[in-house]
Amino acid sequence: AILGGTWGATLARMKEGNHEEGGAEAEYAPSSVEELAALASKLAARVQQLEQALQQERNKCRLLEQSLQARTGEANGSETTSQREEQVVVSKAEYELMQLKALALDVVQEGITIADCSKPDQPLIYANAGFARITGYSVQATVGNNCRFLQGQETDSE
């Protein structure tokens, strides 16, 4: 498991609460600022551990790739790069870090969106439940559109 102990269960409960139908508020919330701060501190420590493990895995991969290139004579690596574009393999630590970050994005109450700036019109590719709650637009209605849909004469700037 990525998150252990009670704080892992706490985040899981918060995530489940954010994904109920109708965009309902989370059923669980920390009872105090101190509890929330402790939870954030533990989460930050776990993220740091996973980032360190990820860096170690990347270093190992870099050494293996250099060794492979030396053995096959592919000094520029262009052939292996194009072959790897179809399938990406990540280490367990990198996968856990991605899951942890995704969970953190999902459970925060603030609205978060991510746009793909490499595509025409820069469509949103992610929106969390906080964004849906704040704007009134469902995640499904948001993803795939440019954020300009939020601008207009009827938009409340407050």
pLDDT mean across residues, the chain: 76
Average confidence (pLDDT) over 147-153: 84
Q: Which residues contact 134 (CB under 8 A, 6 or more apart)?
A: 111
Q: What CATH code is carried by the domain that includes residue 137?
A: 3.30.450.20
Q: Higher model confidence: residue 135 or residue 87? A: 135
pTM given for the model: 0.43
Does residue 113 share a domain with residue 103? no
Q: Is residue 20 very low, low, confident or very high in pLDDT (cuts 50, 70, 90)?
A: very low
Does residue 73 share a domain with residue 11? yes
Question: Percentage of the chain with pLDDT > 70?
Answer: 67
Does residue 114 share a domain with residue 103? no
Does residue 149 share a domain with residue 122? yes
Does residue 115 share a domain with residue 42? no
Q: What is the pLDDT of residues 92-106, one digit of tens each?
A: 888 888 888 888 888
Does residue 102 share a domain with residue 116? no
Q: Are the CB atoms for 105 and 126 separated by under 8 Å?
A: yes
Q: What is the pLDDT of residues 21-75, one digit of tens each?
A: 444 444 456 677 888 888 888 888 888 888 888 888 888 888 778 777 777 665 5
Does residue 81 share a domain with residue 68? yes
Residue 151 has φ and ψ, to the nearest 5°, of -95, 145
For 24, the domain range is 1-107
R_g of the chain computed on alpha carbons: 20
Q: Please state the domain count of the chain.
A: 2
